[in-house]
Amino acid sequence: MKVLVSCPDCRRQFDASARPIGDRFRCFCGCVLEISRPREEELAVLRCPSCGAGALEGKPSCGFCGTSYSIFDADRTVACGQCLTRCSQKARFCHHCATPLVANAALGTATALRCPCCPDRQLTTRSAETHDAAAAHIAFLECPGCAGIWLEHDALRVVSERARALASPYEPVAHQHALSSFTQGHKMQPVTYRPCPACKQLMGRQNFGKASGVIVDQCHTDGVWFDHGELEHVLAWIKAGGEERARALRKEADKHVAAVRQRHAPPAWGQVGSGAAELSVSAEATVSLVDLGFALLRGLD
Protein backbone atom coordinates (compact mmCIF):
# COMPACT_ATOMS: atom_id res chain seq x y z
CA MET A 1 0.00 0.00 0.00
CA LYS A 2 1.17 3.52 -0.80
CA VAL A 3 1.28 5.53 2.44
CA LEU A 4 1.42 9.32 2.29
CA VAL A 5 2.39 11.42 5.31
CA SER A 6 1.41 15.10 5.36
CA CYS A 7 3.20 17.78 7.38
CA PRO A 8 0.69 19.76 9.51
CA ASP A 9 2.80 22.93 9.26
CA CYS A 10 3.79 23.29 5.61
CA ARG A 11 1.40 20.69 4.06
CA ARG A 12 4.25 18.97 2.21
CA GLN A 13 3.55 15.27 1.61
CA PHE A 14 6.02 12.37 1.70
CA ASP A 15 5.79 8.90 0.25
CA ALA A 16 6.49 6.65 3.24
CA SER A 17 5.54 3.36 1.59
CA ALA A 18 8.99 1.82 2.08
CA ARG A 19 9.21 2.70 5.78
CA PRO A 20 7.62 0.73 8.67
CA ILE A 21 4.73 2.06 10.74
CA GLY A 22 5.98 4.03 13.74
CA ASP A 23 9.12 5.44 12.09
CA ARG A 24 9.77 9.13 12.65
CA PHE A 25 11.34 11.55 10.19
CA ARG A 26 11.90 15.27 9.79
CA CYS A 27 10.06 17.45 7.28
CA PHE A 28 12.08 20.07 5.40
CA CYS A 29 10.40 22.75 7.54
CA GLY A 30 11.76 21.12 10.72
CA CYS A 31 8.57 19.43 11.95
CA VAL A 32 9.08 15.82 13.09
CA LEU A 33 6.45 13.45 11.66
CA GLU A 34 5.51 9.88 12.54
CA ILE A 35 4.23 7.24 10.12
CA SER A 36 0.82 6.08 11.35
CA ARG A 37 -1.23 3.07 10.36
CA PRO A 38 -3.94 3.79 7.75
CA ARG A 39 -7.46 3.61 9.06
CA GLU A 40 -9.53 0.57 8.10
CA GLU A 41 -12.78 2.19 7.09
CA GLU A 42 -15.10 2.40 4.12
CA LEU A 43 -16.61 5.82 3.69
CA ALA A 44 -19.19 7.05 1.22
CA VAL A 45 -17.82 9.44 -1.38
CA LEU A 46 -17.99 12.96 0.04
CA ARG A 47 -15.81 14.64 -2.58
CA CYS A 48 -14.96 13.70 -6.13
CA PRO A 49 -11.63 11.81 -6.14
CA SER A 50 -10.93 13.19 -9.61
CA CYS A 51 -11.45 16.95 -9.21
CA GLY A 52 -12.01 17.37 -5.44
CA ALA A 53 -15.46 18.92 -5.85
CA GLY A 54 -18.22 18.18 -3.36
CA ALA A 55 -20.31 15.13 -4.21
CA LEU A 56 -24.04 15.53 -4.82
CA GLU A 57 -26.18 13.18 -2.75
CA GLY A 58 -27.70 10.37 -4.76
CA LYS A 59 -25.60 11.11 -7.86
CA PRO A 60 -23.42 8.22 -9.15
CA SER A 61 -21.07 10.65 -10.88
CA CYS A 62 -19.51 14.07 -10.26
CA GLY A 63 -21.76 16.95 -11.22
CA PHE A 64 -18.74 19.07 -12.22
CA CYS A 65 -16.36 16.80 -14.15
CA GLY A 66 -18.72 13.90 -14.87
CA THR A 67 -16.41 11.22 -13.43
CA SER A 68 -18.14 8.08 -12.18
CA TYR A 69 -17.49 7.38 -8.52
CA SER A 70 -17.60 3.61 -9.00
CA ILE A 71 -14.20 3.44 -10.68
CA PHE A 72 -12.54 4.58 -7.44
CA ASP A 73 -14.11 1.92 -5.20
CA ALA A 74 -12.23 -1.19 -6.36
CA ASP A 75 -8.58 -0.46 -5.47
CA ARG A 76 -8.23 1.58 -2.31
CA THR A 77 -4.49 1.12 -1.92
CA VAL A 78 -3.38 4.68 -1.10
CA ALA A 79 -3.50 6.16 2.41
CA CYS A 80 -4.24 9.90 2.49
CA GLY A 81 -1.43 11.81 4.20
CA GLN A 82 -3.87 14.18 5.90
CA CYS A 83 -6.67 11.98 7.29
CA LEU A 84 -5.24 8.45 6.67
CA THR A 85 -8.35 7.41 4.75
CA ARG A 86 -7.81 4.61 2.22
CA CYS A 87 -8.26 5.94 -1.28
CA SER A 88 -8.04 4.60 -4.81
CA GLN A 89 -4.68 4.63 -6.55
CA LYS A 90 -6.46 6.29 -9.50
CA ALA A 91 -7.70 9.18 -7.37
CA ARG A 92 -6.04 12.59 -7.48
CA PHE A 93 -7.82 13.86 -4.35
CA CYS A 94 -8.87 12.19 -1.11
CA HIS A 95 -12.62 11.49 -1.29
CA HIS A 96 -12.95 12.39 2.41
CA CYS A 97 -10.90 15.58 2.94
CA ALA A 98 -10.03 16.52 -0.68
CA THR A 99 -6.29 16.64 0.04
CA PRO A 100 -4.25 16.18 -3.18
CA LEU A 101 -2.77 12.67 -3.27
CA VAL A 102 0.62 13.74 -4.57
CA ALA A 103 3.90 13.05 -2.77
CA ASN A 104 6.18 16.09 -2.96
CA ALA A 105 9.20 14.14 -1.75
CA ALA A 106 10.30 10.59 -1.07
CA LEU A 107 11.96 9.43 2.12
CA GLY A 108 15.47 8.04 2.10
CA THR A 109 16.62 4.47 2.40
CA ALA A 110 18.22 2.65 5.31
CA THR A 111 22.03 2.51 5.56
CA ALA A 112 24.38 0.15 7.37
CA LEU A 113 25.25 2.83 9.94
CA ARG A 114 23.75 2.54 13.42
CA CYS A 115 22.21 5.35 15.44
CA PRO A 116 24.47 6.44 18.35
CA CYS A 117 21.39 6.64 20.62
CA CYS A 118 19.35 3.68 19.30
CA PRO A 119 21.82 0.86 18.48
CA ASP A 120 19.01 -1.28 17.09
CA ARG A 121 18.08 1.38 14.52
CA GLN A 122 19.72 1.97 11.15
CA LEU A 123 20.22 5.56 10.02
CA THR A 124 18.36 6.57 6.85
CA THR A 125 19.56 8.85 4.09
CA ARG A 126 17.88 12.23 3.66
CA SER A 127 18.60 15.36 1.65
CA ALA A 128 17.43 18.97 1.76
CA GLU A 129 17.67 21.75 -0.78
CA THR A 130 19.90 24.74 -0.14
CA HIS A 131 20.45 28.13 -1.75
CA ASP A 132 24.21 27.61 -1.74
CA ALA A 133 25.30 27.32 -5.38
CA ALA A 134 28.26 25.16 -4.41
CA ALA A 135 25.98 22.61 -2.74
CA ALA A 136 22.50 22.35 -4.25
CA HIS A 137 21.51 19.65 -1.75
CA ILE A 138 22.62 18.90 1.78
CA ALA A 139 22.86 15.20 2.55
CA PHE A 140 22.41 14.00 6.11
CA LEU A 141 21.45 10.87 8.03
CA GLU A 142 18.44 10.57 10.31
CA CYS A 143 17.33 8.07 12.94
CA PRO A 144 13.77 6.80 12.38
CA GLY A 145 13.41 6.22 16.11
CA CYS A 146 14.73 9.24 18.05
CA ALA A 147 14.76 11.63 15.03
CA GLY A 148 18.39 12.58 15.69
CA ILE A 149 20.54 13.95 12.84
CA TRP A 150 24.07 13.07 11.71
CA LEU A 151 25.82 15.81 9.71
CA GLU A 152 29.25 15.53 8.19
CA HIS A 153 31.51 18.53 8.81
CA ASP A 154 31.13 19.94 5.28
CA ALA A 155 27.33 19.75 5.47
CA LEU A 156 27.35 21.40 8.90
CA ARG A 157 29.52 24.20 7.52
CA VAL A 158 27.01 24.90 4.74
CA VAL A 159 24.07 24.90 7.17
CA SER A 160 25.90 27.17 9.65
CA GLU A 161 26.98 29.65 6.96
CA ARG A 162 23.41 29.90 5.73
CA ALA A 163 22.24 30.69 9.28
CA ARG A 164 25.00 33.29 9.70
CA ALA A 165 23.85 35.03 6.52
CA LEU A 166 20.44 35.49 8.18
CA ALA A 167 21.81 36.48 11.61
CA SER A 168 20.67 39.72 13.20
CA PRO A 169 22.63 41.85 15.72
CA TYR A 170 22.46 40.55 19.27
CA GLU A 171 19.66 42.04 21.35
CA PRO A 172 18.92 40.47 24.77
CA VAL A 173 15.11 40.39 24.55
CA ALA A 174 15.04 39.12 20.97
CA HIS A 175 17.73 36.53 21.78
CA GLN A 176 15.77 35.21 24.76
CA HIS A 177 12.54 35.08 22.75
CA ALA A 178 14.19 33.20 19.85
CA LEU A 179 15.46 30.47 22.18
CA SER A 180 12.53 30.30 24.62
CA SER A 181 10.81 27.43 22.79
CA PHE A 182 14.00 25.32 23.07
CA THR A 183 14.92 26.12 26.68
CA GLN A 184 11.47 25.75 28.27
CA GLY A 185 11.09 22.37 29.91
CA HIS A 186 14.66 21.38 28.99
CA LYS A 187 16.13 18.80 31.34
CA MET A 188 19.76 17.93 31.81
CA GLN A 189 20.56 14.49 30.44
CA PRO A 190 23.09 12.14 32.04
CA VAL A 191 26.56 12.34 30.51
CA THR A 192 26.96 9.55 27.95
CA TYR A 193 29.75 9.11 25.43
CA ARG A 194 28.38 7.73 22.18
CA PRO A 195 30.08 5.92 19.31
CA CYS A 196 30.55 7.64 15.97
CA PRO A 197 28.27 6.05 13.32
CA ALA A 198 31.14 6.02 10.80
CA CYS A 199 34.31 5.03 12.67
CA LYS A 200 32.70 3.54 15.82
CA GLN A 201 35.08 5.50 18.09
CA LEU A 202 33.61 7.31 21.09
CA MET A 203 32.79 10.92 20.24
CA GLY A 204 33.69 13.93 22.33
CA ARG A 205 31.13 16.22 23.94
CA GLN A 206 31.28 19.98 23.57
CA ASN A 207 29.16 23.09 23.92
CA PHE A 208 28.46 24.11 20.33
CA GLY A 209 30.07 27.50 19.72
CA LYS A 210 31.28 27.36 23.37
CA ALA A 211 28.24 29.40 24.43
CA SER A 212 25.10 28.02 22.72
CA GLY A 213 24.13 25.77 25.63
CA VAL A 214 23.72 22.79 23.28
CA ILE A 215 26.04 19.88 24.11
CA VAL A 216 26.65 17.98 20.87
CA ASP A 217 28.53 14.75 20.19
CA GLN A 218 31.39 15.39 17.76
CA CYS A 219 33.79 13.14 15.92
CA HIS A 220 36.69 15.30 14.78
CA THR A 221 37.13 13.13 11.69
CA ASP A 222 33.61 12.36 10.46
CA GLY A 223 30.89 14.68 11.72
CA VAL A 224 28.52 15.86 14.47
CA TRP A 225 25.48 14.17 16.02
CA PHE A 226 22.48 16.30 17.03
CA ASP A 227 19.72 14.91 19.23
CA HIS A 228 16.13 15.75 18.36
CA GLY A 229 15.72 19.55 18.45
CA GLU A 230 19.39 20.38 18.99
CA LEU A 231 20.18 21.43 15.41
CA GLU A 232 17.13 23.71 15.35
CA HIS A 233 18.30 25.22 18.66
CA VAL A 234 21.81 25.84 17.31
CA LEU A 235 20.56 27.49 14.12
CA ALA A 236 18.13 29.70 16.08
CA TRP A 237 21.01 30.68 18.40
CA ILE A 238 23.17 31.70 15.41
CA LYS A 239 20.36 33.67 13.76
CA ALA A 240 19.64 35.51 17.03
CA GLY A 241 23.22 36.83 17.22
CA GLY A 242 24.50 34.22 19.65
CA GLU A 243 27.92 33.92 18.01
CA GLU A 244 28.39 37.69 18.17
CA ARG A 245 27.55 37.65 21.88
CA ALA A 246 29.92 34.72 22.50
CA ARG A 247 32.80 36.56 20.80
CA ALA A 248 32.16 39.65 22.93
CA LEU A 249 32.11 37.57 26.14
CA ARG A 250 35.35 35.80 25.22
CA LYS A 251 37.02 39.13 24.41
CA GLU A 252 35.93 40.54 27.77
CA ALA A 253 37.15 37.42 29.57
CA ASP A 254 40.55 37.60 27.86
CA LYS A 255 40.95 41.23 28.98
CA HIS A 256 40.02 40.33 32.55
CA VAL A 257 42.48 37.42 32.66
CA ALA A 258 45.26 39.59 31.24
CA ALA A 259 44.58 42.26 33.88
CA VAL A 260 44.64 39.69 36.69
CA ARG A 261 47.90 38.21 35.44
CA GLN A 262 49.51 41.63 35.18
CA ARG A 263 48.29 42.73 38.61
CA HIS A 264 49.44 39.52 40.32
CA ALA A 265 52.61 38.83 38.37
CA PRO A 266 55.31 37.13 40.50
CA PRO A 267 57.97 39.53 41.83
CA ALA A 268 61.32 39.77 40.09
CA TRP A 269 64.28 37.72 41.34
CA GLY A 270 65.79 39.28 44.43
CA GLN A 271 62.59 41.17 45.29
CA VAL A 272 60.74 38.28 46.94
CA GLY A 273 59.14 39.47 50.17
CA SER A 274 58.07 37.56 53.22
CA GLY A 275 56.12 34.31 53.01
CA ALA A 276 53.00 36.05 54.37
CA ALA A 277 53.10 38.66 51.57
CA GLU A 278 53.43 35.95 48.92
CA LEU A 279 50.47 34.06 50.41
CA SER A 280 48.37 37.25 50.44
CA VAL A 281 49.08 37.93 46.74
CA SER A 282 48.24 34.33 45.80
CA ALA A 283 44.97 34.39 47.73
CA GLU A 284 43.94 37.69 46.14
CA ALA A 285 44.64 36.31 42.65
CA THR A 286 42.58 33.17 43.38
CA VAL A 287 39.59 35.22 44.59
CA SER A 288 39.78 37.43 41.50
CA LEU A 289 39.76 34.41 39.17
CA VAL A 290 36.77 32.92 41.01
CA ASP A 291 34.91 36.22 40.60
CA LEU A 292 35.70 36.11 36.88
CA GLY A 293 34.25 32.60 36.60
CA PHE A 294 30.97 33.63 38.24
CA ALA A 295 30.79 36.72 35.99
CA LEU A 296 31.11 34.56 32.87
CA LEU A 297 28.42 32.17 34.12
CA ARG A 298 26.05 35.08 34.74
CA GLY A 299 26.76 36.38 31.24
CA LEU A 300 25.75 33.05 29.65
CA ASP A 301 22.35 32.93 31.42
Is residue 27 within 8 Å of residue 68, measured between CB atoms?
no
Mean pLDDT of 254-261: 80
- pLDDT tens digit sequence for 1-23: 677 788 888 777 887 877 888 88
Tell me how many helices (H) and strands (E) the chain has. 5, 14
- State residue 72's pLDDT score: 62
Nearest 5°: CA angle at 143, between 137 and 144?
Answer: 105
The answer to pTM > 0.85 is no
Q: What percent of the chain has pLDDT over 70?
A: 69
Q: What percent of the chain has pLDDT over 90?
A: 14
- pLDDT tens digit sequence for 173-192: 877 777 776 666 666 678 88
Alpha helices in 124-274 (DSSP H): 153-165, 172-183, 230-239, 242-263
List the single range of 27-31, 37-41, 130-134 with lowest mean pLDDT.
130-134
CA-closest candidate to residue 226, choices 198, 187, 194, 188:
194
